[in-house]
Amino acid sequence: MDPVTAGLQFGKAALQIADDLFTSDEERSEAEQKMLLAKLRAAMEPDQAQVAAYIAEMRSGHRGWRHQLGIILSLAVGMHFVAFPLITVLAQLFGYTAALPDLDIEQLWPLLLGMLGLGGLRSYDLRNGSRK
């Protein structure tokens, strides 16, 4: 072991002994509680900022891009799965052929699932504590 590492280890051990001798259990407990409280407050700051942004957005009366994107995606999915099949069936009943556009619904699914929060990565990060 080199002298620098040995000196650092000796100093750390000496400080630990001095800390144990001159710090009471109550002081140590109080310091740990203060440190835990500071960590909790720091962890809550991003969430509080997000809540403040949501409140400001709701008070402004402007619904924002999420609402507009949700309407667009809902209409596209509704057209693809409800309106187009219904129009096709009705046209066939009356002897017509309906030439409807083919929506590329595969490109919409990632957007829709992201809007609904079904990606799962955020929940996984929150559960495992790897969120920054």
In this model, does residue 53 exceed pLDDT 80?
no
In this model, does residue 115 exceed pLDDT 80?
no
What's the start-to-end Cα distance of the chain, in Å? 37
Distance CA(71)–CA(60), nearest Å, equals: 19
In this model, does residue 90 exceed pLDDT 90?
yes
Distance CA(23)–CA(29), nearest Å, equals: 10
pLDDT of residue 86: 92
Distance CA(112)–CA(114), nearest Å, equals: 5
Distance CA(32)–CA(38), nearest Å, equals: 10
Distance CA(9)–CA(58), nearest Å, equals: 56
Q: Taking a C-beta distance cutoff of 8 angstroms, is the pair 77, 112 a contact?
A: yes
- Where along the chain do its domains lie? 1-62
In this model, does residue 54 exceed pLDDT 80?
no
State the pTM of this model: 0.42
CA-to-CA separations, 110 to 35, 57, 116, 119, in angstroms, rounded: 41, 25, 10, 9
Q: How many helices (H) and strands (E) does the chain have?
A: 6, 0
pLDDT band with cut points at 50, 70 and 90 for residue 60 = confident
